[in-house]
Amino acid sequence: PHPRGTAAATVDTHCPYCALQCGMGLRPASGEAASDVPLEVVERTAFDVNRGALCGKGRTAPALLSSRVRLTGPLVRRRPGGSLEPAGWEEALDRVVEGLSGVRAAHGPDAVGVFGGGGLTNEKAYALGKFARLVLGTSQIDYNGRFCMSSAAAALNRAFGLDRGLPFPLADVARTGCVILVGANPADTMPPALRYFTELRENGGKLIVVDPRRTRTAEQADLHLAPRPGTDLALALGMLHLVVAEGRVDEEFVAARTTGWAEARAAAMAHWPEWVERVTGVPVPALREAVAMFCDAESSMVLTARGPEQQSKGTDTVGSWINLCLATGRAGRPLSGYGCLTGQGNGQGGREHGQKADQLPGYRRLDDPAAREHVARVWGVDPQVLPKPGRSAYELLDALGTDVRALLLTGSNPVVSAPRAAHVTERIASLDFLAVCDVVLSETAELADVVLPVAQWAEETGTTTNLEGRVLLRRRAVSPPPGVRTDLEVLSALAARLGWERGFPSDPEEVFEELRRASAGGPADYSGITYRRVAEEDGVFWPCPLRPRLPAAGEDDGPAPDGPPAPHPGTPRLFLDRFATEDGRARFVPVTHRPSAEEPDADHPLLLTTGRVPAHYQSGAQTRRVAELNAAEPGPFVQLHPRLAERVGVAEGDPVAVVSRRGRAVAPARITPDIRPDTVFMPFHWPGAGRANTLTNPALDPVSRMPEFKVCAVRVEAAGSG
C-alpha cells in the first residue's frame, strides 16, 4: 500500500471544483508518477452528467494532494506583527478558542463572525451553521455563495416558491427546442457541459447566447446577442414586449398556472423595443429573431449564470427572464423552464443547510417560527436560543474590525474574491482575531492569527449537491497527511473546547444523518436520502422525503400491495403539476429597467465586466498552485476591443491600467474584436497588481444582497513598460 494509505482499488468520486461535479475514478498512481502524486484520475463513464469527460482542472486535481505548497501543519502568529510559525494542533486550537471567546466575552456573541464557502460539502455547510448559531451563539454567519448565485435563488423563491437551480436534469437541455443562455460561458467554465448544447443543435434545437463578449460558447450559437453590461433586464423586457405585441402569450397557461400577469404585462409594455435597442445596443430585428426562435420551438428554456445575477438588480433581472418563460408557457412543462447554472462545487447544497445568514437547514427561513421550532428540536435546544438573521457576506466583511472583531473562515478567499477587495483586505487586517481553515496558505490565510490545515476532497468522504439538485457522494480515496484534519474534526474539537457538551460529530455520515432529520419537511427535504442510496443510485435528486408520496395515477413506484412502501424516488423534474407556492401557481413579478449602480461618466467612460478562464477556479487559491494549470494561464489580462486599444495606444501584451472609483489594476492587454468597444473584461482569479476585484463595485441587490461584480465604470490607460 502507498504510504498515504490509498484505497487498493479505483474509488468512484466527483471533482473537487465546479458545480457540474463531474464523476471521476481515483486509483493509486503507478510508475514514476506515484512518488509525486498518490492518486491518478481515471475515466468514469457511468456517471451520466459528464460520461467520463473532464476539464483540465478535474484531470489535474490530484496534483495538489502532495504539492509542496499544501499546508501539513497548523501555523500560529505568536506576536502581533510577527510571522506565521509552525505549531502543534493543541496550541493552534487553544489559540482559536482564546481568540474567539476573548472577543465574545468583551463584545458579545455577535462580535464573532463565521464565513463559509460554496465549495464545502453538505455536511460541512450544515455543521458550520450549527457551530455558529449554537456553539458561538452568533448571528453573524454568511458565505461566499452569496457572491455566486444568490440573485437566482431569490428570484426562484419569489416566482416558484422554491430554489433549485435547475428544475430538470441537464440531459433535458439536449432535448428541448431552444435555449437562451444568458451571461453563461460553459465552454470555458464547465467544458464537459458544452456537449448538451452541441447535442441540442444536432437535434435541430436553437441556441441563443446573451453575452457582451463573443465567447467560445457564443461562437456555437445560432444567435448571439451582445448587450451592454447591466442591461440584460431591459433585453428580457423587450422580448416580453414583442411576445405580447406579436400575440405569442400562452393565455391558457397564464390563466391556469400563474398569478400577477396583468402587472408584469403592463411593466413590459412600457419598454418599447426601440428603447430597448438604445439601452442595450441589441438591434430590434435581432430581438424579433430571438423571440421567434424561442416561441416557435415546441419547448424552450432560459438558463442564466453570473452575468445577469451579479448585478445590483440581479434578482429583478433573473425575474425578467422568468417572466418571459411564464408568459410563453415555458415553465412547469416537460423540457421547458428557467434554470440557473450554479458555479461553485457545492453551490446548490452549500445554500441549503444553514451557512447562509438568513437560513436554517432544509432551506428553511431563520425568521420562520415553525422552522426555528423544527430545527431547535433536532438540535435539542430551545428555539429562543437561535439567533436572528445576520449580515450578508459583503456587509459582514465590511463590518470586520468594527462591529465584528473576530472571524473564523473556511473554504473562501475574500482577499481575492470579494468586491472592492482592497477595502475588504483592510477590514480583514483590522480584526482582533482571524482563524482560517484551508488547504494552502491563501492570500486571506496569510493575514490570519491561526491557520488550520484541512483535508482535501480526496482525503475525506462527504456529499455535494450538483447544479441539477442531485445529491452525490464524494468518497475518501487516500488518507490526509499526518498533521492535517478535516473541517468536521476541527469544528468538533473547537466545540468541545468551547464547552459544547452535547457532542459535535465529526463523522460525515453521522452529520448527514442529523442533516436529514433537520431537513425533513423543509423545502430542500433530504430525509429520504442516505449514503447507501446515493452510492447505489449514483445520485438522488431532492426533494426526497422519507415517507413515500402517494403515487400519481399510472405510476408504478408506489407501495407494493403486500410489501413495505417503496422509498421516494427523488425528484428530477419539479413543478410539472404545481409550483411550490401556497396556491400552486407561479408568480409573475412586475420588473422595470434601472441603471447599474455606477454608469460611465467623463472620468470613467467604459464598463468593466469580470469572469473566469478555463484553467482556474474561483480565487485560484488551488488552481494557481497546479503547475499545468498555471502554465496554461499564468496571470491576469485585460481583454479589450482593437478600436479601444488603438485609442488608448496599447498593443497586444502591453501593460494596461484599468481604473475604477475603488482602485487600479494592471495587466497585459489581450486585444480581440470579440468584445464590445465600450467594455473591458478581466478574469478575477489573481491577487496583486492585476486583481480584478480591486475594481469591482460592492453595490448590493436589495433582495439577494448580491454585489455588482459584473458591471462598474472604469477608464483604461497605457501603463508603460516599467
Q: What is the contact surface with ligand SF4 in residues (CB under 6 A)? A: 15, 17-18, 20-22, 50, 54-55, 57-58, 190-192
Nearest residue (CB) to ligand SF4, 363 versus 457: 457
Whether 548 contacts 558, CB under 8 Å: yes
Give me the residue whose beta carbon is nearest to ligand SF4.
58
Nearest residue (CB) to ligand SF4, 15 versus 682: 15
Whether 75 contacts 51, CB under 8 Å: no
- Look up residue 567 and give its DSSP letter: P
Whether 544 contacts 470, CB under 8 Å: no
At closest approach, how far in Å is the CB of 478 from ligand SF4? 18
Strand-strand pairing, 84-86 and 679-683: unpaired
* Strand partners of residue 663: 660
At closest approach, how far in Å is the CB of 53 from ligand SF4? 8
At closest approach, how far in Å is the CB of 691 from ligand SF4? 22
660's enclosing H/E stretch is strand 655-660
Q: Coil, helix or strand for 608?
A: strand
At closest approach, how far in Å is the CB of 375 from ligand SF4? 31
Query: Could you tell me which residues come within 8 angstroms of residue 564 by beta carbon, excluding any fewer than 6 positions away?
Result: none
Nearest to 155 by CA among 305, 318, 356, 311: 318
Strand-strand pairing, 433-438 and 450-453: parallel
Nearest residue (CB) to ligand SF4, 55 versus 440: 55
* CA–CA gap between residue 551 and residue 536 (Å, rounded): 23
At closest approach, how far in Å is the CB of 481 from ligand SF4? 23
At closest approach, how far in Å is the CB of 119 from ligand SF4? 11
Range list of β-strands (E), 449-490: 450-453, 462-465, 470-474
Nearest residue (CB) to ligand SF4, 623 versus 704: 623
Which three three-digit cell numbers place residue 247?
400575440
Q: Coil, helix or strand for 323?
A: helix
Query: What does the DSSP assignment read for 17-65?
Result: SSTT--EEEEEE--GGGGGT-SEEEE--TTSTTTTT---HHHHTGGGGG
Query: Could you tell me which residues come within 8 angstroms of residue 5 by beta carbon, excluding any fewer than 6 positions away?
Result: 478, 479
At closest approach, how far in Å is the CB of 106 from ligand SF4? 43
At closest approach, how far in Å is the CB of 458 from ligand SF4? 13
Peptide bond preceding 482: is omega within 30 degrees of 0, i.e. cis?
no
Sheet containing 470-474, strands listed edge to edge, beginning at the edge strand earlier in sequence: 462-465, 470-474, 540-541
Nearest residue (CB) to ligand SF4, 193 versus 360: 193
At closest approach, how far in Å is the CB of 57 from ligand SF4? 4
Q: How far is CA 684 from CA 449, 472, 635, 665, in A?
A: 26, 29, 10, 11
At closest approach, how far in Å is the CB of 614 from ligand SF4? 9
Nearest residue (CB) to ligand SF4, 188 versus 395: 188
Nearest residue (CB) to ligand SF4, 17 versus 575: 17
Nearest residue (CB) to ligand SF4, 52 versus 283: 52
Nearest residue (CB) to ligand SF4, 41 versus 658: 41
Q: How far is CA 201 from CA 34, 181, 185, 222, 358, in A?
A: 42, 13, 16, 9, 41
Q: What share of the chain is helix, strand, coil (3-state, %, to 5)?
A: 35, 20, 45
Range list of β-strands (E), 542-583: none
Nearest residue (CB) to ligand SF4, 467 versus 648: 467
Q: Residue 45 CB: number of other CB atoms within 10 A?
A: 11
Nearest residue (CB) to ligand SF4, 593 versus 624: 624
Q: Residue 489 CB: number of other CB atoms within 10 A?
A: 18
Nearest residue (CB) to ligand SF4, 50 versus 355: 50
At closest approach, how far in Å is the CB of 60 from ligand SF4? 10
Q: Residue 179 CB: number of other CB atoms within 10 A?
A: 30
222 burial type by CB count under 10 A (0-12 exposed, 13-18 middle, 19+ buried): middle
What are the φ and ψ backbone dihedral angles of 675, each rounded to 5 degrees? Answer: -140, 150
At closest approach, how far in Å is the CB of 20 from ligand SF4? 4
Nearest residue (CB) to ligand SF4, 444 versus 466: 466
At closest approach, how far in Å is the CB of 23 from ligand SF4? 9
At closest approach, how far in Å is the CB of 471 from ligand SF4? 15
At closest approach, how far in Å is the CB of 526 from ligand SF4? 21
At closest approach, how far in Å is the CB of 18 from ligand SF4? 3
Nearest to 323 by CA among 273, 264, 275: 264
The counts of H helices and E strands in the chain are 22, 30
* CA–CA gap between residue 627 and residue 604 (Å, rounded): 37
